[in-house]
Amino acid sequence: MVRSRIGWMIVSCVLVVSLALLSGQMARAEGLPEDPSADVEKVNNDPDVVAAMELLKSGNIDGAIEKLEAAAKKNPTIPPAEVVLASLFAKSKDGRGFRVWIEKAVDKHPKDPEAYVIMAQVAAAEQRITEARLLADKIKTLLDDFQGDAKRKAAFESALHELLAGLATRDKDWEKAKSHLQALLTLQPANNAKILQRLAGVLFQQGKVDEALEKLRAAKIANEKMLTPEAQVALWYESAGDHPKAIEMFTKALTVAPKDIQTRLVAAEWALKIDDLDTARQQAEAALKEDPKSLAANLMMGTVALFQHDYPAAEKHFQAAMAIQPSNFSASNNLALVYCAQDDKAKWQLAKQYAEMNARLFEKTRYAPEAFSTFGRVLFKLGNVGDAEKAFIQSARMAGAFSPDTAYYYAELLAEAGKKDEAKKLLQSSLKTKAPFSERANAEALLQRLSQ
């Protein structure tokens, strides 16, 4: 649906990334580390490691451990066998296997920091902050006496500063966060663009905007794909609730980089989020002018047009997006909504084809709630009220709640069935959200009619 997936339609996903950089949070599923033991990837060509993998496939864990231990003796950069096994279980999304082997790693190699590093990362990600702090203290102690490979030690030191920077950011201890990020800059020169951006975020929080811009400019030099510094600061101002400053910085960003598509699209997304549809359209059109074949620009242009109920324009741009990337969910999902919204029964059938296909193809993905919501919307339009209601309920169950648009769609169904009180409750709930959604005006109008 348009309203809840504005961000991911932009290739850069800059706003989402920016907020994550400020919060220091990293999402991990099922108690598993996001990037378990990067060293494993580096040693996959080691003959003993390759042999260990084959033994694991056949279920011979003891044989695999023996090979991994042999590999570690020959190559000091290879982690302990138990850590490698824990990492492999994590990569295969086997939480139980990961926990068993990471505990064995701690038991067998109590002076090796790596298992503790991984456990601390998981604890921090799961908001077990006290445990993460205790593990950080343990890692620090172990590093003081660590006599192993220098490259491994440097990696552990980086991980520790990363962890402590995240914890300090959580506590809004900006000076401590800055200190750890500055240490990371020394330890990880190859990642300096990302670290510089995080450091800029901390400086922004300290009110040192000029210094933040300086770091962002350095990050942009290191990685030209980074967002225009002024636009990044504009997003931070908006996140902090300073709308006038956000406008000021976006104006500067567009003056500095008027032909930069990413800057234009982020400005369009920002404008859409604050319900300034005219500015959003202006910026989307400017991005599209720079590159008519840009997937992100066509998606944004289609989204703005859909919010403005300019269905011919929305249809044109979502079709263009599908021509560029036929498998793109946003393009096909929103095209179904556009077809459904027009007074053309032939297009309603096209909407059904797209919506039915998406409900089937994306049922096991994060797009499932939107796919079923759109499917329900199309079914209701075609008069299949029973299946439409099932689709709406399924969408809410998958998402954990009714999204604003889905609430409006379902409220329409309930109102038609004479269940006015239930419909009014859904509408009132959907209209409480501050975020814009494409059916807000229709939801307000429906609520007013039901309240008369």
| Distance, CA of 51 to CA of 53 (rounded, Å) | 5
Residue 16 has pLDDT above 60, yes or no: no
> Closest Cα partner for 372 from 383, 358, 386, 352?
358
- Whether residue 347 lies inside any domain: the answer is no
- Whether residue 253 lies inside any domain: the answer is yes
Torsion of CA 113, 115, 118, 120, to 10 degrees: -70
Give me the number of domains the chain comprises.
Answer: 1
State residue 22's pLDDT score.
33
Condensed to tens digits (0 to 9), the pLDDT of residues 90-114 reads 877 888 888 999 999 999 999 999 9
- Whether residue 351 lies inside any domain: the answer is no
State residue 88's pLDDT score.
80
- Whether residue 141 lies inside any domain: the answer is no
- Whether residue 432 lies inside any domain: the answer is no
Q: What is the CATH number of the domain that holds 251?
A: 1.25.40.10
pLDDT band, very low/low/confident/very high, at 34 (cuts 50, 70, 90)? low
State residue 61's pLDDT score.
87
- Residue 3 structural domain: 1-22+227-326
- Whether residue 302 lies inside any domain: the answer is yes
Q: H helices of 308-367, where?
A: 311-324, 329-341, 345-361
Residue 33 has pLDDT above 50, yes or no: yes
- Whether residue 445 lies inside any domain: the answer is no
- Whether residue 348 lies inside any domain: the answer is no
Ramachandran category for residue 90: left, alpha or beta (phi over 0 → left; psi -120 to 50 → alpha): alpha
